[in-house]
Amino acid sequence: MFLYEINENHVTIEELLRNHWRLGKKLVHELRMAKAITLANDELIQWNTPLQAGSIIKVAFSIPTSNYKPTPICAIDVVYEDDHCLIVSKPKGMSTHPNDARDTHTCMNHVMAHIKEQGGIYAEHIHRLDKGTQGLLLVAKHPLAKSIFDRMIEEKSIIRMYAAEVQGNIRGASGTISEPIGKDRHHATKRVVSKSGQHAVTHYEVVARYKNSCVVHLILETGRTHQIRVHLAYIGHPIIGDTMYGARVTASDDYELHAIQLEFDHPFLNKRIIVKDKQ
């Protein structure tokens, strides 16, 4: 259950759900059948009744239990949180979510420990980060938020920024890599640029230059597996240490890719959210 303040005049509940939040038909029908939306004082309201700006409505609905087994304590940093979502900083070397029942120390297992401490039962990630990538991960705290944030990811209205140091110096200050990505037939986990692959777009900007490398900030339009790593290697500038994609071996024998910022218009709080991770 949560309260929501209508922020413009003459908006109906029907318009809020279908045009503003743009929920799916099935979910809208379920909310209608459950009489899930009332005024703040629990008074029923017709869905075609225009409301004035400042009106407070109550949205109440059943919440399913997520299947992630909570860790004993949450050992990851919660960078941002409200009633609808949270943003955590996933450590490098930790999977976003379990792949089987034995996988109980992923980022979502730690998130579930945090949710459980608050008396909650639901948490679902909106996007994912590769195991070797650290940084910000957006998590929904109820199904309505999940539905809306999923749609926002599809429509590219959640801006995800990453930072990486790459081999060599990229020509020019910025650019866009628009190349489809598919599976490598010769390597189970590797991805390649392929004409038969999925549409993938990465924007980059050079923010620092050194003798034999440069630091780039990258914004994803799509979220393909290993997208940034594949695209940077494709233009001849793999992430330093990313030997899978052609980089030289380093002392750490590993690459560094960091999800440093998330930015979006919050659908329930009616404000712009910008969250930055520690670098």
Distances (CA, A) of 55 to 23, 39, 45, 264, 265: 21, 8, 12, 24, 20
For the purposes of burial, counting CB atoms within 10 Å of the CB of 148, is it exposed (0-12), middle (13-18) or buried (19 or more)?
A: buried
The residue to which tokens 């990258």 are assigned: 218
Set 42, 130, 242, 253: catalytic member: 130
Active site residue 150: no
Which segments of 121-271 does DSSP mark as H helices, in order? 143-154, 227-234
- The residues near 265 (Cβ < 8 Å, ≥ 6 apart) are 157, 271, 272, 273
Three-state secondary structure call for residue 228: helix
What are the backbone angles phi and psi of residue 198, rounded to the nearest 5°?
-85, 145
Amino acid identity at 71: T
Q: How far apart are alpha carbons 104 and 41 in whole angstroms?
A: 42
Q: Give, in order, the Cα–Cα distances in Å from 238 to each of 36, 208, 234, 256.
A: 51, 16, 8, 11
Token reading at 146: 């999940």
Positions annotated as catalytic residues are: 130
